[in-house]
Structure 1
Amino acid sequence: MPARADAPLALAAGGLTATVLPAEGGVIVDARLGGRPFLAATPWASSVTAEPEPAPDEQTWVARWRGGWQVCLPSAGQPDPTDPRQGFHGAASQARWAVVESSEAHVALSWRDADLVAERAIVLGNGRLTVRTLLRNDGPAARQVLVAEHLVLGGDVLTAPLELATNAGALQPLDYSGVPDGIPVPWPGERAERWDIVDVATPARVAGLVDVRRVTATGDHVEVVVAWHGLPHALLWEELGVSTEPPWNGDVVALGIEPSSVPHGAGTAHGDAQTLAPGESLAWEAALEVRFAEGVA
């Protein structure tokens, strides 16, 4: 049985650094390029402590969320009343992960419940932050699963307007809880909604990206590329200091580009989860590249 570690793990490769918290979902809580942060951080991050039980609802999960990049499994999105083990965003998203091995630029983590085993590797190299995950059913019965990479940009990425582009695909309208709210339309949706522009006029909102494998965010100050395989969809979440109710209080600035197995956040209760038969596995990879423009503060 691999040893567990509660201490943060510091990774570095070239000018890229990342801090991983195994005790809190293996979250990449901070990542920087040349000292410049590019992941979201919540104002309450310093008061968060690891908890032994999954968050039962969105409010509790958000209160434990530091920001950054973590995986949501074996469910993603809203709680499933038929499976209280999962809670909001899946039991593994803020649970303790075991450290299997680590080096200066790499860490391998593992998590399991009664039946499922997840193996996750976080690697820095070639100017890229790459995460590879394998989810396997080791139990005697089939399991229903949803997964999502809760990859949330912030920091110096969101200091100026961005233009978003995808490799085609469609936009699935969702309400702010992540539940489907209309039929898919070709990306980037209606012109007046400006889904391809992120700036101070962007409302707090979320949408599904259907049949998408790559999203770029480009501005005069930065270029960001999120690319993945093994997952067919993504979620696009925009919260640019617009929501003034607690806990957001107008202080959270975040852009989620979240590869996922389904283009919504309704959870396994929505009825389109993937079935993993005994011995079956699901594998995927996501990579993030950030390039800041020289001389732009």
Structure 2
Amino acid sequence: MRRNWAARLRQGTIGGIRAVTLENERLRVTVLPGKGGDVVEFLHKPTDTDFVWLSPQGLRDPRDHLQGAADDVAQFIDHYEGGWQEIFPNGGAPSEYRGARLAQHGEVSALPWECEVVADSPQEVAVRLSVRTRRLPYRMEKIMRLRSGTAALEVEGRATNESGQRLHAMWGQHIVYGRPFLHAGARIRLPQGVGVIPHETAINPPARRVRAGGPWKWPTVPADGGGETDLSVVQEPGSPSDIVYVTGFQEGWYEISGHIGMRVEWDASVLPYLWMWQELGASTGYPWWGRAYTVGLEPFSSMPTDGLAAAVAGGTALTLEPHETKVLTWRAEVMA
């Protein structure tokens, strides 16, 4: 019989998409190997708090959604249920790299991953997810682990260049927060001494939260309309949409908290940047239509969000030598 205490896991489907749930006394984490390895639930059971933002359009199986004009942005947006995504080898806008056209946030977030159970005991449960990209010769793997008695998800990821060519990539964790956890006045804490670089242009023109230019010192930065704004405080619904890049991490970590909190730690030698995406309802056209209230705090290898070719040109792209494997460890823990 299925174990229903301590650390345990179950496999099934959600909306026809393969799913696996890792659970213990304090935490329930649901992952979709059938769609990008997305995390679609990160529930702290004692407070009934789910940290994951869920898009108003809901979960859509890419296999059942074939209508509409094809473009390299819609490929991600049409099937974006919210959740947390693995982003590789292209981050942000569509890009072309050495003849390969890469869609927004492509490729692995749009692909089904293989899944196998590697630990299943009352002490811990773990699954290994793996996938090969289709346009570039990479293999991705991640082990997701939950230990009994903890409120932390532990992840070890691997990116392998399976070719004899020197290649580039962008690698990121698209971690976004939403209601009911996220609310105006929630606080974001980062290590001392980090800096802020605004995105060059507004993502929802003409309004933006942070004045172009910089770099600025975290957390109080020049506001676009004059004065200052405190980036450590989540703003009210309807506040300007924006994206900034946080740099200068000696240790990779952040905390976001209100009545309860989350701490994310990662290897800053692999992901030296943090993308801070704020979509608080000000974007009233495609694709949000004023319905989004979310903040993304996304550890990334590279910047800006203009795609792999721009990261290569700017010198921030990851470099993988022939047959090289890069390893990334990160963890997300509830602070209660």
TM-score category (smaller protein): 0.7 to 0.9
Contact 2:39–2:83 (Cα < 8 Å) also in 1: yes
Q: Please name the residue that 2:106 is paired with.
A: 90
Aligned-pair distance for 1:124?
2.4
Report the more deviating stretch, 79-88 or 245-254: 79-88
Aligned-pair distance for 1:252?
1.4
Distance 2:280 2:65 in 1: 31
Q: Please name the residue that 2:217 is paired with.
A: 186
Q: Compared with structure 1, are the counterparts of its residues 156 and 163 closer, same or farther at alpha carbon in structure 2 (3 Å cutoff)?
A: same
1:27 aligns with 2:38: yes
Matched AA of 1:107: V
Distance 1:198 1:12 in 2: 30
| DSSP-derived class of the 2:180 partner | helix
Superposition TM-score, scaled by structure 1 size: 0.87
The structure 1 segments of at least 4 consecutive aligned residues displaced by more than 6 Å after TM superposition are: none
Q: Compared with structure 1, are the counterparts of its residues 176 and 119 closer, same or farther at alpha carbon in structure 2 (3 Å cutoff)?
A: farther
Q: Please name the residue that 2:7 is paired with.
A: none
Q: Please name the residue that 2:253 is paired with.
A: 214
163, 180, 197: which is aligned to 1:172?
197
Aligned residues between the structures: 285
Aligned-pair distance for 1:23?
1.5
Q: Compared with structure 1, are the counterparts of its residues 40 and 50 closer, same or farther at alpha carbon in structure 2 (3 Å cutoff)?
A: farther
1:134 aligns with 2:162: no
26, 33, 45: which is aligned to 1:15?
26
Q: Please name the residue that 1:224 is paired with.
A: 262
Distance 1:225 1:242 in 2: 27
Q: Compared with structure 1, are the counterparts of its residues 261 and 235 closer, same or farther at alpha carbon in structure 2 (3 Å cutoff)?
A: same
Q: Please name the residue that 2:308 is paired with.
A: 268
1:203 aligns with 2:247: no
Q: Any unmatched runs of 5+ in structure 1?
A: 293-297
Q: Please name the residue that 1:289 is paired with.
A: 333
Q: Compared with structure 1, are the counterparts of its residues 48 and 22 closer, same or farther at alpha carbon in structure 2 (3 Å cutoff)?
A: same
118, 124, 128: which is aligned to 2:146?
124
Report the structure number with the largest CA radius of gyration.
Answer: 2
Matched AA of 2:318: Q
Distance 2:50 2:198 in 1: 30
Q: Compared with structure 1, are the counterparts of its residues 25 and 56 closer, same or farther at alpha carbon in structure 2 (3 Å cutoff)?
A: farther
| DSSP-derived class of the 1:197 partner | coil
Q: Compared with structure 1, are the counterparts of its residues 280 and 214 closer, same or farther at alpha carbon in structure 2 (3 Å cutoff)?
A: same
Distance 1:84 1:98 in 2: 24
Contact 1:76–1:89 (Cα < 8 Å) also in 2: yes
| DSSP-derived class of the 2:104 partner | coil
Report the more deviating stretch, 186-195 or 116-125: 186-195
Aligned-pair distance for 1:48?
4.3
Q: State how 1:54-69 maps to structure 2 within 5 Å.
A: 56-69=71-84
Distance 2:131 2:333 in 1: 26
Aligned-pair distance for 1:94?
1.8
Contact 1:78–1:177 (Cα < 8 Å) also in 2: no
Aligned-pair distance for 1:246?
3.0
Cα RMSD, aligned residues only: 2.5
Distance 2:50 2:232 in 1: 23
Matched AA of 1:90: G
1:244 aligns with 2:244: no
Q: Please name the residue that 2:293 is paired with.
A: 253
Superposition TM-score, scaled by structure 2 size: 0.77
Matched AA of 1:232: P
Contact 1:237–1:257 (Cα < 8 Å) also in 2: yes
Q: Please name the residue that 1:72 is paired with.
A: 87
Q: Compared with structure 1, are the counterparts of its residues 156 and 177 closer, same or farther at alpha carbon in structure 2 (3 Å cutoff)?
A: same
Report the more deviating stretch, 165-174 or 245-254: 245-254
Q: Please name the residue that 1:111 is paired with.
A: 131
1:38 aligns with 2:51: yes
Q: Compared with structure 1, are the counterparts of its residues 250 and 48 closer, same or farther at alpha carbon in structure 2 (3 Å cutoff)?
A: farther
Aligned-pair distance for 1:71?
0.7
| DSSP-derived class of the 1:198 partner | coil
Distance 2:288 2:65 in 1: 24
| DSSP-derived class of the 1:182 partner | coil
| DSSP-derived class of the 1:285 partner | strand
Contact 1:165–1:215 (Cα < 8 Å) also in 2: yes
